[in-house]
Structures are given as C-alpha cells and as structure tokens.
Amino acid sequence: MASTGRPAITLRSLNRHIAEFDMSGVEMAYANSLRRSMLADVATVAIDQVSYNQNSSPLPDEFIAHRLGLIPLISKGVRFSMRDTRDCTCDEGCSYCMILLTLNVKCTGDRPLNVTTAHLTRVEAPPGDQDDMEGQELLKKRDPAVGFPAGRGEENQILIAKLSKGQQLDITCKAYRGISKHHAKWSPLSAIAYEYDPHNKLRHSSYWFEVDEKAEWPPMKSAVHEAEPGPDEKFDFNAKPHTYYMEAEGTGAIPVNDVVVHGFEALEDKLGPMILQLHQQIDIEEGRAPKEDEMTDENAYQPAANDNTYSAPTAWNGSGQSPNGIQPSAASPWAAVAAPNFGGMNGGAASPWGSGPAEPAVSPNGDGW
C-alpha cells in the first residue's frame, strides 16, 4: 500500500492465535520496536518453582521442570490483576502474586499412561495480607481462568511425561508473573516477524538463482498488497520502506489482540517520560520553564497543552489517555491512525475473546534447571 505520510494500521487477519496487520507512515525502527515490545515486555504467568514429592518416572526432575516451563498458562489481564513477586510483601508467595498448581498421577494399568496438561490442577494459593486493600482489588480484577493451562479441554493436550505401571509423579508448581525480557518462558508469542518491500524495489535483497529468478524465488506473502514494478521502471535511489507487514502468533496464554495492545502501551510507558524530559529541557533552555534547582511545588514543570506529540487516543483500545497518565494532544500525528479496534484490555465487546472459557499458561524457574 502507498504511504500516506501519517501513521496508519490496517488489520488483514485476526483469529484466536494469529494477527496479521500492516503498519505504514513510520520508520522501520518503530516497527521493529513494536515487534520487540510485543515479544519481551508483555506480562504473562509461568511456572517458576517446582517442588517434587514423588518422581519415579524415567525423566529426571530438571527435565520435567523444563517441560513444565514451556507450557503456556492463561494469563489474560495479569498486568492489572496480579502483583510482581518482587513487589509483594509476602515471604514465599501468596494469592496476590502467585498461582499454585499441583500434579499427582500414578499409573496402575498395564499400558503406559500419558501425563499431560489435563492432569495439572490449579489450587488455592496461600492467602495474602487481608489488610492489603490493593491486593484485594487485584483479586477482584483477576480472570477466573488465570493459571489454567492453555488449551485445557481440547483434544490434543501437551505431553509432560509417560508413566509405566507403578510409576508416580507428584509435584507442586508455583507460577509467577513475569516478562520474557527476563526469561523466554514468559513470552506471550511463539513467533512474530515483519516483512517489507515484497517486490524488492529497494534492492535490499540479492537473490541467488540458476536460471529464472522469479521461478526459483516465489513472491512474499505480502506481494499481493503492492503493485509489481514494471520492467522499464527506473530505480529510485531515495526510496525508503513505507509499509511493514507484521504477523504475530500467540502461545494461547493471552489473546493475540491483547498482546498487540500491551505492546503499544509498553512503548508508550518507555517513550512518554523520555519525551516529557526532552520537552522540559527545551523549555528550560528557551526560558519558558525554571531550572531544576529553582523549581518548587508552585512552579513545577508542566508541559504545554500541545507539546505532547507522541500520545493520542490509540486506535487499538479506543482510550483517550495513555497508560502513563499523559493526556494526548489534538496535534498528535497518531490522532488519525487508521487502525482496527482489537477489543478492550479485558475482552471488550469488540474482542473475539470477550466471552467463553479462557485458558492459562505456566512455566518453571531457572532454579529447577
């Protein structure tokens, strides 16, 4: 698609696990930043500690802990309904910061028994401080399905181990909130990538071929969205990428539409304070604001009404305010972003996951490896 000069988003496809959309009017650095943010900065729940009461299976403890760590747990809305364990006042985990799961299976038949995610059971975690009103509010916001394995109830369950007659596996798992920047087990996506310039107009790629380049190199998936250059079309040395075709595949822990929304919000949280600091420094240098050592409560820096050009009502969640509390300006280049509404953060009416059973995800910690 041709660039309009303004940021725009076009939704191509959306289902339970995959979202395909185009971004135009932005630099490649922003498209890549969104990709990294969706992959590394979106919180999920994963098994972080595994305690073994009995393991007579052929697999060692560390191997099973590793497999448990790769099982996605339903984590919808945990950013707003679950406390990071490092911020909690408890000693060894409580209901405010932890999900507790158990697995107790013994093979009594003559045929091998497959131990799968269907055998994982979520149990009540130790209660948190009853005087902690903030923690009580978190519990009220939490989705009832948080902590259950993703895909629960489906025919094909994730295999954990196989037991022969007389063998038993009895374990307790503690799952905590985290992001995959700290460990890949918390990643909400199994894959995310983008491509641009499907017809290689910019000559960024050099294809090796034997006889016919077009026959040996099939066109990209996104080639149908851009016109193919003519044989006599001149090469434009000043041309730049203008549209990025992105595809994200979720693990089932969080609906992929929410992953996109959280990715944008994570970028806002990072860029907002930095941009305000830059505006403050410019105002100080130009005499429109007092220097830092001269500031008081009365003359503390406040950004001008129209100097916040990065934030706007985002087309992904319809919000008129960024997550960091900064009100968007009418002059924002993002105010006219032509993007789809993927539904609210908690499964709004526009979200395909607004109703129905949710599915959880879990994963072990490095200590058990």
**Domain holding 153: CATH number?**
2.170.120.12
155: containing domain: 44-186
What does the mean pLDDT of the chain come to?
A: 80
Of 70-79, 281-290, 305-314, where does mean pLDDT reach its minimum?
305-314
* Number of residues written out for the chain: 369
**pLDDT at residue 277 in the model:** 87
Flag whether pLDDT at 5 surpasses 70.
no
Flag whether pLDDT at 141 surpasses 60.
yes
Quick check: is 171 in a domain? Answer: yes
**pLDDT at residue 334 in the model:** 36
Quick check: is 12 in a domain? Answer: no
**pLDDT at residue 295 in the model:** 60
For residue 255, give both structure tokens: 């609906």
Can you give the three-state secondary structure of 162-231, one letter per residue?
EECCCCEEEEEEEEEEECCCCCHHHCCEEEEEEECCCCCCCCCCCCCCCCCHHHHCCCCHHHHHCCCCCC
- What Rg, from alpha-carbon coordinates, does the chain have? 25
Flag whether pLDDT at 331 surpasses 90.
no
Flag whether pLDDT at 231 surpasses 90.
no
At residue 320 the predicted structure's pLDDT band, cuts being 50, 70 and 90, is very low
Packing angle between helix 28-40 and helix 256-285, nearest 10 degrees?
120
Beta strand extents in 44-148 (DSSP E only): 44-55, 98-106, 113-116, 121-123
Please state, as a whole number, how many other Cβ atoms lie within 10 Å of the Cβ of residue 270.
14
**pLDDT at residue 329 in the model:** 38
Provide mean pLDDT across the span 318-325. 42
Which has more confidence, 148 or 221?
148
Provide mean pLDDT across the span 222-235. 83
Closest CA to 239 of 303, 196, 270, 193: 196
Quick check: is 129 in a domain? Answer: yes
**pLDDT at residue 292 in the model:** 65
The partner residues of 170 in beta bridges, in order of sequence, read 54, 104
Q: Three-class SS of residue 68? A: helix
At residue 297 the predicted structure's pLDDT band, cuts being 50, 70 and 90, is low
Which has more confidence, 234 or 99?
99
Residue 88 has phi, psi (to 5 degrees) of: -90, 150
Which has more confidence, 103 or 348?
103
Model-level pTM?
0.72
**pLDDT at residue 301 in the model:** 55
At residue 298 the predicted structure's pLDDT band, cuts being 50, 70 and 90, is low
**pLDDT at residue 226 in the model:** 85
Provide mean pLDDT across the span 74-99. 92
**pLDDT at residue 361 in the model:** 38
Provide mean pLDDT across the span 333-353. 37
What are the DSSP calls for 313-341, one per residue? --TTT--SS-TTSPPP-TT-TTTT-----
**pLDDT at residue 20 in the model:** 95
Query: What are 40-81's pLDDT values in tens digits?
Result: 999 999 999 999 999 999 999 999 999 999 999 999 999 999
Q: What type of residue sits at position 67?
A: R
Quick check: is 64 in a domain? Answer: yes
**pLDDT at residue 313 in the model:** 39
Phi-psi group of 153: left, alpha or beta (phi > 0 → left; psi -120 to 50 → alpha; rest → beta): left
Q: What is the DSSP letter of 342?
A: -
Quick check: is 14 in a domain? Answer: no
Quick check: is 201 in a domain? Answer: no
Flag whether pLDDT at 23 surpasses 60.
yes
At residue 283 the predicted structure's pLDDT band, cuts being 50, 70 and 90, is confident
Helix, strand and coil content of the chain, in percent to the nearest 5, comes to 25, 20, 55
Flag whether pLDDT at 305 surpasses 80.
no
Flag whether pLDDT at 347 surpasses 50.
no
Flag whether pLDDT at 345 surpasses 70.
no
**pLDDT at residue 325 in the model:** 44
At residue 302 the predicted structure's pLDDT band, cuts being 50, 70 and 90, is low
Quick check: is 175 in a domain? Answer: yes
Domain count for the chain, please give it. Answer: 1
- What is the percent of the chain with per-residue pLDDT over 70, rounded to a whole number? 77
Quick check: is 165 in a domain? Answer: yes
**pLDDT at residue 35 in the model:** 94
Provide mean pLDDT across the span 139-151. 92
